[in-house]
């Protein structure tokens, strides 16, 4: 157990870097989608650069961070198996499964954009970008509060956060539609 804090620290470091990748890559997707609508030669130049940036972010930062975060989390669970009997941990693991599903769907979107298959609007990607934020809030409150009752308030808070994020996205879209330079 003397190395528990080192493992926990490494887990948290890779949580941060994993989320950094998940926060930034949909933003790059937005730029890629919008670049595909530009005239030549801008379209080709921007698309090439954005593909390179997303590839590096995805395979050098995001995927390795996801794998290492998961490995250190499993190691922590091996050291502290009693956590698996805690209700808050069950809910946390559910959100982790949702995060992994989000990551895998984002990977699918990444592959489509690498093939220049534009299947989503930039507006959709702005909304998609908030998925990781909602999971981060949920997991953080669960880990800190460690209470099923407090988690109910957390769910209400997460729903309110989601509504606020959607309203913010709609407001930004209106501002952007009125002023394309915003």
- Residue ranges of the annotated binding site are 11, 92
Q: How many CB atoms lie within 10 A of CB 119?
A: 10
Q: How many CB atoms lie within 10 A of CB 72?
A: 20
Binding residues for heme: 11, 92
Encode 149-161: b = buried (16+ Cβ within 10 Å), e = exposed.
Answer: eebeebeeebeeb
Provide the 8-state DSSP code for 1. Answer: -
Cα first-last separation, the chain = 52
- Please give the Cα distance from 166 to 128 (Å, whole number): 10
Provide the 8-state DSSP code for 121. Answer: -
**CA-atom Rg of the chain in angstroms:** 19
- Please give the Cα distance from 32 to 98 (Å, whole number): 25
């Amino acid at each position: 157990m003397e190395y528990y804090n080192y493992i926990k620290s490494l887990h948290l470091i890779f949580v941060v870097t994993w989320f950094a990748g998940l926060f930034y890559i949909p933003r790059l997707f937005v730029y890629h989608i919008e670049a595909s609508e530009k005239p030549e030669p801008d379209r080709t130049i921007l698309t090439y650069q954005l593909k390179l940036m997303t590839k590096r972010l995805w395979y050098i930062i995001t995927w390795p961070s996801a794998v290492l975060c998961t490995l250190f989390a499993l190691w922590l669970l091996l050291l502290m198996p009693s956590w698996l009997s805690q209700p808050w941990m069950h809910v946390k693991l559910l959100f982790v499964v949702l995060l992994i599903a989000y990551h895998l769907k984002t990977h699918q979107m990444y592959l489509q954009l690498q093939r220049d298959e534009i299947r989503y609007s930039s507006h959709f990607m702005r909304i998609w970008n908030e998925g990781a934020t909602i999971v981060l809030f949920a997991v953080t409150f669960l880990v800190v509060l460690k209470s099923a009752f407090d988690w109910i308030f957390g769910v209400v808070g997460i729903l309110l956060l989601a509504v606020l994020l959607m309203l913010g996205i709609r407001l930004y879209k209106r501002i952007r539609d009125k002023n394309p330079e915003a």
